[in-house]
Structure 1
Amino acid sequence: MNQFAKVKGPKTYKRMLWKNGLGETLEIERFDDAKGLAYRISQAAVVEDGVFSDFSGLHRTLVLISGTGLVLTHSDSEQHELVRLLDMAKFSGGEVTQAKLHHGAIEDLNIMVREDDYLAEVSPMLPLSEYRWCASENTVYVGIYAVSQCAFRSLSSQTELDLEAGAMLKFDVTDSINLIWLSGQAVLIKIVETPQIEALS
Structure 2
Amino acid sequence: MNRFTQMKSSDTFKRMPWKNGLGETLEIERFDDAKGLAFRISQAAVVEDGEFSDFSGLHRTLILISGAGMTLTHSDSEQHELVRLLDMAKFSGGEVTQAKLHHGAIEDLNIMVREDDFLAEVSALLPLSEHHWQASENTTYVGIYTVSQCTFRCLMTNAEQTLEAGVMLKLDSSENFDLSWLTGQAVLIKVLANAPS
TM range (shorter): over 0.9
**Which one is further off, 122-131 or 14-23?**
122-131
Deviation at 1:157, TM superposition (A): 2.6
Pairs within 5 Å for 1:1-201: 3-197=3-197
Q: How many residues align?
A: 197
Are the equivalent residues in 2 in contact too, given 1:4–1:175 (CA < 8 A)? no
Deviation at 1:68, TM superposition (A): 0.4
Deviant stretches of 4+, over 3 Å: 1-5
List per-residue Cα deviations over 1:92-136 (Å, max 9, x = no partner).
000110001001000000000000000000110121121111111
Q: Percent identity between the aligned chains?
A: 76
**Structure 2, unpaired ranges of 5+:** none
TM-score by length of 2: 0.97
2: CA distance between counterparts of 1:111 and 1:60? 6
RMSD: 1.1
Deviation at 1:2, TM superposition (A): 7.8
Are the equivalent residues in 2 in contact too, given 1:120–1:189 (CA < 8 A)? yes
1: CA distance between counterparts of 2:108 and 2:120? 16
Q: Secondary structure at the match of 2:11?
A: helix
**Structure 1, unpaired ranges of 5+:** none
